[in-house]
Amino acid sequence: MHVYSHPACTRHDPGPGHAERPLRLVAVTEALREHFTALDWHEAPRASRGQLLRVHDDALLALVLDTPVDAPTALDPDTVLAPGSAEAALRAAGAGVAAVDAVMHGDTRRAFCAVRPPGHHATESAAMGFCLFNNIAVAAAHACDKHGLARVAVVDFDVHHGNGTQAIFDTDPRVMYLSSHQMPLYPDTGYANERGVGNIVNVPLPPGSGSEAFRKAWRDNLLPALESFRPQLLFVSAGFDAHKRDPLAQLELETDDYRWLTVELARIATRHAQGRIVSMLEGGYDLAALRECSVAHVAALLDSGG
Ligand SMILES: [Zn+2]
């Protein structure tokens, strides 16, 4: 199984006290190196402008990549452009592109991208919610456009709704987007009646839902929809901020819930996608929970045939 990361991803620094801090990625990469010897580590390449332009407009590229930044600059109340941000954003998006190429060329069936900044809130034209470029959307568009896939799915179990990913693909029947998330919570999207062209499946969950309601949502609603779509490649927006230790939300999941869901996703990938899964780190703001959950997720990817 391939893991993509890059030291530049720790050099995007939104400033003191910001939840989306460089130590998050240090925690994830250290935990993976401590727990696994079978991982095949790769330096993430930079995404090209052409790859980014499949899902973003020129103005967002200019803002993130061409703005002279001497000191951290707030793009909105949550999202900061700092001196290391452009390089981190290019590597984070490039990780997903490289992971897609690797699974499509048959070099590996599974890939995990240990990157930041996260991506799923970034829309075609706006950086928001800690996200600069929408990494998973760049990767999914690459799978469709470069590799000619007709059906790919983005599964998003981050506690926040991936409004950016949904908006980028909600008129593109090649991409199914499926999300469980806490509601009410930022960014206040992801209602069950947001269906796109039949390719969007949202299951909002109230605060305090816990493991049972989370697993029921996936078992009864999201996994059957994913199964009937028959994705040729499965993407995972792997945010671990629904964990009970997370300070930003109250969905109260256990670490084992991430193992459970990953195994279920792997079964579907095995049936329809030749086992191909590209997973990318999104949120998760308690360092101990991040370590545990990323290890549980990667272990399940490996044990289930990665
Ligand atoms: Zn999140």
User: Which pLDDT tens digit goes with each residue over 187-240?
Assistant: 999 999 999 999 999 999 999 999 999 999 999 999 999 999 999 999 999 999
**Token pair 């568009």: residue:** 141
Beta-carbon contacts of residue 131 (< 8 Å; ≥ 6 apart): 79, 117, 118, 119, 120, 121, 122, 164
Side-chain half-sphere exposure of 214, counting CA atoms within 13 A: 28
Q: What percent of the chain has pLDDT over 90?
A: 98
CB contact at 8 A, 95 and 44? yes
Amino acid letter, 169? F
- pLDDT value of position 304: 84
CA–centroid distance, 127 to ligand 1, in Å, is 15
Whether residue 81 contacts residue 73, with contact meaning beta carbons closer than 8 Å, is answered with: yes
DSSP H helical ranges for the chain:
22-35, 49-53, 58-66, 85-104, 135-145, 163-169, 210-217, 223-229, 255-272, 287-303
Sequence spans of domains, the chain: 2-303
Q: What is the pTM of this model?
A: 0.98
pLDDT at 294 over 90: yes
Q: What is the mean pLDDT of residues 46-71?
A: 97
173 CA to centre of ligand 1 in angstroms:
25
Q: How far away, in angstroms, is 284 Cα from ligand 1 center?
A: 6
Say if residue 302's pLDDT is above 80: yes
| pLDDT mean over 163-171 | 99
Crossing angle of helices 255-272 and 287-303, rounded to 10°: 30
Instruction: Over range 78-98, report the average pLDDT.
Output: 98
Rounded to the nearest angstrom, the distance between the alpha carbon of 107 and the centre of ligand 1 is 30
| Nearest C-alpha neighbor of 283 from the set 170, 129, 168 | 129
Alpha-carbon span 280 to 239, nearest angstrom:
8
pLDDT value at position 305?
76
Q: What is the pLDDT of residue 62?
A: 98
Q: Count the neighbouring beta carbons within 10 Å of the beta carbon of residue 228.
A: 9
| Domain 2-303 is found in CATH 3.30.565.10 | no
How close is the Cα of 106 to the center of ligand 1, in Å?
A: 31
CA of 159 to the centre of ligand 1 (A): 5
Active site (annotated) includes residue 121:
yes
Six-digit token string for 11 = 């050099």
- State whether the Cα torsion 191-248-19-283 is positive or negative: negative
* pLDDT, tens digit (0-9, with 9 covering 90-100), for 235-270: 999 999 999 999 999 999 999 999 999 999 999 999
Terminal Cα-to-Cα distance of the chain (whole angstroms) = 5
101 Cα to the center of ligand 1, angstroms: 26
Q: Output b/e per residue, 37-54; b: 16+ Cβ within 10 A.
A: eebeebebbbbeeebbeb
pLDDT at 306 over 90: no
Q: How far is the CA of 239 from the centre of ligand 1 (A)?
A: 6
- The predicted pLDDT at position 254 comes to 98
* Annotated active-site residue in 12, 121, 243, 297: 121
Average pLDDT of the segment spanning 44-63: 98
Q: What rounded mean pLDDT belongs to the chain? A: 98
Cα–Cα distance for residue pair 140/133, rounded to 1 Å:
13
H-helix or E-strand spanning residue 156: strand 152-156
- Dist. CA 286 → ligand 1 center (Å): 12
Best CA proximity match to 111, nearest among 226, 249, 5, 220: 5
Position 136: which residue type? I
Q: Which helix (H) or strand (E) holds 179?
A: strand 175-182
Provide the pLDDT for residue 250. Answer: 98
Label residue 73 by pLDDT band (50, 70, 90). very high
**Distance (Å) from CA 20 to ligand 1 centroid:** 10
